[in-house]
Amino acid sequence: MNSTDDKILKIQNLVKDFPGVRAVNDVSFSIKQNTVHCLVGENGAGKSTLIKILTGAFIRSSGKIILRGDEYEAHNPKEARNRGIATLFQELNVVDELTVEENLTLGIEDSTFGFIRRSTKIKRILETLKEIEPSINPKHKVGRLSVAKKQIIEIAKAAASEAEIIIMDEPTASLSEKEITRLFRIIKDLRKKNVTVIYISHRLDEIFELGDMVTVMRDGKHVETKPVSEVKGRNELIHMMIGKTVFEEYVPRDTASLESLLEADGITNEKLKDISFSVKKGEIIGFYGLVGSGKTELASALFGIDQYKGDFIYKGKKLTGGPSRAINSGIALVPEERRTQGIFPILTIRMNIPAMNMKKITKNHIIRDWLERKAAKEYIEKLNIITQSTEKDVRTLSGGNQQKVVFAKCLFADADLLILDEPTRGVDVGAKSEIYSIVRQLSEAGKSIIVFSSELQEILYSCDRIYLLFDGELKAEMRNGPQIDSKEIINIATGGN
């Protein structure tokens, strides 16, 4: 085969400028037909911008894109789709009020005299959905499905469309292990059907499992494009992404002798079944479980958001009341959904950071600007939040930096117990390792931390003691350490014995 022929997409000297920032800086690489081409890089490396140019959301500043030998430029997602490029966005694009079937066929309905007709096209989409996730009933309202299942619907839609290139922007961020396995099978099948997949993920293991080629970007520049088979392990990839090695191995400590901080006794509600556990001062506790295992529900109960039976005894006293009571007694929460629960997107970093403890920026009940600015600067530096100014709206920051703002909020509240619900979801590797090191520093300083996560790596990297949750029940408790068997953990967390 001619070597120029099998390149379906060629990107040449692509540049995208934003006021003050060159988001994509002279990037050139090619994508081979019928491959899974992975795109990796930290948040802010320029991947999203590059993708948005491909899908028509942004217009490039200069450079060329060649699709199948023809010049390519899209001004909106529809134009991109017409040229054969479909995209699976990170944010869900489903309509809760409609049924699964209606969602899948939205915008592509065939009609006869204005009545919607079930064409073969629709049948094919439904078949694809069934292949990926047989448990979804096409007649059900989408609003009743979990986030993971909503995402699967989107995947089915993109997979069934007659696209030549499908761009997937972190499709597995909220999927369980089982669902991920199914998705990967589908992606591998797509390759056989003459479809090229551009796959973006922060989970590096997925790259090795799925990818044929990988392109690494850093600071808007192209670092390297090579076959995944030639990459020697995660460390090499991480090294290319950030130029330094991260994730120092965590040495769990023996915490048996520490003073107790929190005792949970028989916590029960609609989702949780008689959960009892304990947290000691300065300890990092991990709750591992799949999506839907009750992690968020347990965090919500502890923080006073959800009702429950049973007792949380914190510093010798029973916890009652809602979040404001919890914060006053020294508990802070980094919630699961950063964008809808954690940050105040349209407000500045300066206004976000003190939100949990505004008394600290007042003197005689009056907000003092200097205290507020000092606090903002202090935490921007402490947590290494990348921004030009304290006056930037938080929505303009990258995901990792937004998450650091949420952390700053919690740290500013001077809590003794931090509840972290999926603390690094959608966060790049660099920010991830920074967040882990923040967690460790906090525990060194005597703060206790509870991490709820569906990423086992995360739990193993950061926790002293681990609890396993499955279907609202506490299945096991174990001490972290070299003896730990991740296969056994996954077995328990997926409902095995």
Partner 1 sequence: MLNTGKKETSGLTTNNSAHGRISNLSFITLAMLGVLVFVFITASLLVPRFFDIRTMANLLVQQSELIIIGLGVTFIVITGRLDLSVGGVVALAAVLSSYFSQAATRAEFSLASGLGLPYWFAVILTLVCCMCIGAVNAFFIVKMKIASIIVTLGGMSLARGIAMIIARGAQRNVGLPPEFRFLGRFTVVGTINLSVIIMIVLFLIALFVEKKTIFGRRLFLIGANKTAADLSGIKTGKQIAQLYILSSLLAGITGILMASKFCSGNSSIAMGYEFDALVITVLGGTSIQGGFGSVVCAVIGAFILGILSTSANMLGFPPASQLLVRGFVIVIAILAQRYALNKRNV
Residues that bind partner 1 (CB under 8 A): 18-21, 303, 305, 322-324, 326-328, 333, 335, 340-348, 351, 355-356, 358-359, 362, 365-367, 369, 373, 377, 380-381, 388-393, 396, 409, 413
Contacts of 396 (CB under 8 A, 6+ apart): none
Nearer to partner 1, 244 or 365 (CB): 365
Tokens of 186: 């589908």
Least separation in angstroms between CB 48 and partner 1: 16
User: Could you tell me the smallest distance in angstroms from the CB atom of residue 422 to partner 1?
Assistant: 14
Least distance from partner 1 to the Cβ atom of residue 332, Å: 9
3-state secondary structure string, 156-207? HHHHHCCCCEEEEECCCCCCCHHHHHHHHHHHHHHHHCCCEEEEECCCHHHH
Q: Please give the structure tokens belonging to residue 353.
A: 């950071």
Q: Considering the complex, what minimum distance in angstroms separates the CB of residue 342 from partner 1?
A: 6
Closest CB to partner 1 among 309 and 363?
363
* Strands of 327-458, DSSP E: 331-334, 362-363, 366-367, 417-421, 448-453
Burial class (CB in 10 A: 0-12, 13-18, 19+), 312: buried
Q: Rounded to the nearest whole angstrom, what is the least distance from the CB of residue 427 to partner 1 in the complex?
A: 18
Which is closer to partner 1, CB of 257 or CB of 388? 388
Closest CB to partner 1 among residues 138, 345 = 345
| The two structure tokens encoding residue 420 | 């972290």
- Smallest gap from residue 84 Cβ to partner 1 (A): 29
Q: Which amino acid is at 136?
A: I
The sign of the CA dihedral 332, 338, 343, 349 is positive
Residue 46 or residue 282: which is nearer to partner 1 going by CB?
Answer: 46
Q: Give the closest residue to 155 by CA, choosing from 180, 137, 122.
A: 180
Nearest residue (CB) to partner 1, 21 versus 258 = 21
Kindly state the smallest distance separating residue 353's Cβ from partner 1, in Å. Answer: 11
Determine contact, residues 211/40, Cβ cutoff 8 Å: no
Q: Record the tokens describing residue 184, joined without a space.
A: 């990967």
Nearest residue (CB) to partner 1, 20 versus 107:
20
* Burial (CB count <10 Å: 0-12, 13-18, 19+), residue 113: exposed
Number of H helices, E strands in the chain: 16, 24
**CB-wise, 181 or 389, nearer to partner 1?**
389
Helices (H), 211-278: 233-242
Q: How far is the CB of 375 from partner 1 (least distance, A)?
A: 13
